[in-house]
Chain A
Amino acid sequence: MMSARAIRTWCVVHKWTSLISTVFLLLLCITGLPLIFYHEIDRALGYDIEAPPMPAGTPLASLDAVVDASKKQIPGTYIQFVSWDPDEPDQVFASMAKRPDTPTDENRFLVLDARTAQVLGEPPFRSTFMFFLYRLHVDLFAGLPGKLFLGFMGLLLVGAVVSGVVVYGPFMRRLDFGTVRTRRSRRLLWLDLHNLLGIVTVAWVFVVGLTGVINTWADLVFKFWQANQLAEMVLPYKGQAPTQQLGSLQAAVDTARRVAPGMTPSFVAYPQSAFSSQHHYTVFMRGETPLTSRLLKPVLIDASNGAFTDTRDMPWYVTVLLLSQPLHFGNYGGTPLKIIWAVLDVITIIVLASGLYLWLARRKIPMDNEIAEATGTIPAMEKRVPQVAE
């Protein structure tokens, strides 16, 4: 049995980690709810772009034709990334920027037909309401500082979850699991609901919260990878000017497929872009199972002559980040998993709101007395007048 003093300390931890973060966690839960269905909502609003039907097995166009068509579509820009979506096998995407090395924030995004290399369109993703919610959820429109701030709020959530589990013990000592006292005060009803909803969803909230925190470090993790493992891989190129004359992208991807048999290209980062070196097409290959399709293996191809330079497995910190993404998004088990994700999110909103209510409707008695009343212990410090039961 914990001492009254220890219980009091954990209650204070639970109160303050929650109070500081609750408003932001409510924002994250509320904006996150529609984001679970980002693609479905965009599709319903007519923002998605469809490739025309063609006979199955229609051969794919050369990626070099895709590159030419993209540059023609938006003259004077540079391709930074070419990518694929496993759910859209007939499409290929090009991310275009003003310079080869500009940050990706202003990039334009083209959808092309993978079989004809024709531009299908430029989805207006930055002007949609879903993108507004996405930015609120990811960085509060404040870039990296916004991400790191929200990550800190997520760490407070982890602290609130742990301390909440600890104080659940003494508070439930005299109650059966699932007790909801509906006939006493409103405050007691919401205390019971807060405890029950919170403890039942604790594994999910802990994982989604922690993986959310890890995701806020994505930019830093990839910068670190670029400065370490990637820098090691391209050491022979040290001091050379960035490659300007780019060779065939199709040849680079073909070479990458030979180097990493059984894997599929996920995206190609161009020289000088955020995920590559100054001199390479970095072809990020993925596996085919639900787990390995989330993991990436970079294959470095010299962009000037198409020669294979190096390939290595990602270091553990990138793997942790890549695995954190599905566990936060809930997009790895079909529509039923997304629906369960949404239900658990709504329950979490109720836990947050009821926690706030319990603080606002707190009774004007010292915390020690309330703990003593709930747990059946006598405050250690001094004898107090017993409280009249509610």
Chain B
Amino acid sequence: MKSGARTRLGGFVRVFGWPILLALFGAIGLISALLGDGAWDVLSWAGLAAPVLVLAWHVLRPVR
């Protein structure tokens, strides 16, 4: 029972871990530029660029 629940959680993290992390980065990116200029803008660019960079790495890495 307990190990079954753990497996289920493990499966969820395996499938949705990266998407949730990247969505959090995206959300930080969307909000931070509203809060201030300068460093807030830079944080915004980084947050929204992170998903794009991860995407590029997976699409462009050598063909398996």
Q: Is A193 within 8 A of B59, CB to CB?
A: yes
The CA of A178 and the CA of B54, in the complex, are separated in Å by 9
The CA of A274 and the CA of B59, in the complex, are separated in Å by 50
Q: Is A182 within 8 A of B64, CB to CB?
A: yes
Q: Is A340 within 8 A of B8, CB to CB?
A: no
The CA of A154 and the CA of B58, in the complex, are separated in Å by 29
13 A–B contact pairs at CB < 8 A? A169-B12, A177-B19, A178-B18, A182-B63, A183-B63, A200-B19, A203-B30, A204-B30, A207-B30, A289-B36, A291-B34, A333-B44, A333-B45
Q: Is B58 within 8 A of A203, CB to CB?
A: no
With A193-B59, A347-B55 as given contacts, are A336 and B22 in contact (CB-CB < 8 Å)?
no
Interface residues on A, range: 35 or more
Is residue A334 contacting chain B, with contact meaning CB distance below 8 A? yes
Contacts from A to B (Cβ < 8 Å): 1, 165, 168-169, 172-173, 177-178, 180, 182-183, 193, 196-197, 199-204, 207, 289-291, 294, 323, 326-327, 332-334, 336-337, 340, 343-344, 347
The CA of A203 and the CA of B30, in the complex, are separated in Å by 9
Q: Is B58 within 8 A of A180, CB to CB?
A: yes
Count of B interface residues, CB-CB < 8 Å? 36
The CA of A178 and the CA of B51, in the complex, are separated in Å by 12
- B9: chain A residues at CB < 8 Å are none
- B15: chain A residues at CB < 8 Å are 168-169, 172-173, 177
- 12 other A-B residue contacts (CB within 8 Å) besides A193-B59, A203-B30, A294-B34: A168-B15, A178-B54, A200-B22, A200-B52, A200-B55, A203-B22, A290-B36, A291-B35, A327-B30, A332-B33, A332-B34, A347-B55
With A169-B15, A193-B59, A343-B52 as given contacts, are A203 and B33 in contact (CB-CB < 8 Å)?
no
Q: Is the interface of A mostly helix, strand, loop or mixed?
A: helix
B15 to chain A, nearest CB (A): 5
Q: Is A196 within 8 A of B55, CB to CB?
A: yes
- A182: chain B residues at CB < 8 Å are 63-64
Of B12, B23, B36, B37, the residue contacting A203 (CB under 8 A) is B23
B31 to chain A, nearest CB (A): 9
For A199, A333, A334, A347, which residue has the most chain B Cβ atoms within 10 angstroms? A333
B16, closest chain A residue (CB): A169
